[in-house]
Structure 1
Amino acid sequence: MQTFKTADLYDVYAEKLQVCEPLFQHYGGHKSFFGPIATLKCFEDNTLVGVMVDQPGKGRVLVVDAGGSRRCAMLGDRLAQKAVDNGWAGVLMFGCVRDSVDIGHMPIGVLALATTPRKSVKKGVGESGESVQFAGVTFNPGEWLYADEDGAVVLAEAAAESKG
């Protein structure tokens, strides 16, 4: 089980970490999660989210820059279940989710701006594996995201408290 607190990580690594602005709500069954970052940038089209969660997660956290849109959901129960099945530790969504009650029972961390019942379009437009910026943070693939009830932070490498 995770033995970190983002507040403790801040106390130890303040000069080396970035702290997300407090914009996000917890929707997943795990309120505390961490892992190396994988990135997507897609606006109101969750096709690439589906492609990514179909791949082995290997304990990573999928960070999605959905442009902060509240017009449609970029993650629902089906994609969240695929993420669980494929070993993703969590999703940080700069956008919305749907099926929040079902996602809340899944063993995965999910942070998002809000919920909406409207689904996204499916055109396959977006980018993966690039740095994305939102919530006052630059998210680079391979850096580590840690999230708990106090918020989310990003470190360039895994913190010693979380290893092993």
Structure 2
Amino acid sequence: MDFKTADLYDAHGEALRVCEPIFRDFGGKPRFAGPAVTAKCFEDNSVVKSTLADPGEGRVLVVDAGGSLRCAMLGDLIAASAVEQGWAGVILFGCVRDSVEIRQMPLGVKALASIPRKSQRRGEGQRDIPVTFAGVRFAPGDSVYCDEDGIVVSDKPLDL
């Protein structure tokens, strides 16, 4: 991908929504983009696992995990599944684990932190609904662009 979020902002300005700078890069691809698939779940990664097991087709999973720092919502096994299924990346308002392994994968991952504790699986959570975190509303199908400088979101794909 040949874009920079700073250049996209310069070209499109306030037409873009810009996330607050609260995320760290954990994946092997700090620059990634694609249409958003959204999920909302709290300390239960069932929806994350099942979604990333579906064909990704270059999309980005955007997860509102409530900002929890108590457990990880993504680990190496689920991240490997995302790579196999062709996902471009994951934006996680929550934590990851297995960060060393995830950093070796060709997957974009932005999250708040890393923690060894795994989440519970109770089959809870929602998919394909609007979610809001880091000062930005994400809707299914929004175009998401991520790099080392941050995350910008557009209602429609941008010319790169």
Residues paired across the two proteins, number? 160
Whether 1:132 aligns to 2:95 is no
Q: Deviations for 1:50-86, whole angstroms, at most 9, x for unmatched residues?
A: 1000100010000000000000000000000000000
Cα distance in 2 for partners of 1:91, 1:6 equals 17
* Letter of the 1:141 counterpart: P
* TM alignment of 1:2-151, pairs within 5 A: 2-151=1-150
Q: For 2:14 and 2:20, locate their aligned partners in 1 and report how far apart those are by CA, in whole Å.
A: 17
Structure 2: distance between partners of 1:13 and 1:108: 26
Q: Runs of at least 4 residues of structure 1 off by over 6 A?
A: none
Shift of 1:139: 0.3
State the SS of the aligned residue for 1:102: helix
RMSD in angstroms over aligned alpha carbons?
0.4
- Residue 160 of structure 1 is matched in structure 2 by 159
TM-score normalised by structure 1 residue count? 0.97
Letter in 1 for 2:57: K
Question: What are the superposed Cα offsets for residues 19-63 of structure 1, whole Å, 9 maximum, x if unpaired?
Answer: 000000000000100000000000000011010001000100000
Gaps of 5+ in 2: none
Distance (Å, rounded) in 1 between the aligned partners of 2:25 and 2:14 = 26
In the TM superposition, residue 15 of structure 1 has moved relative to its aligned partner by: 2.3
Identity of aligned residues (%): 58
CA shift for structure 1 position 8:
0.3
Equivalent residue of 2:14, what SS?
coil
2:124 maps to a residue whose letter is V
Aligned partner letter, 2:93: F
Q: What is the TM-score of this pair, normalised by structure 2?
A: 0.99
Structure 1 unaligned spans of 5+: none
Instruction: Please tell me the residue identity of whatever aligns with 2:77.
Output: R
One-letter amino acid of the counterpart of residue 51, structure 1: S
Letter in 1 for 2:85: N
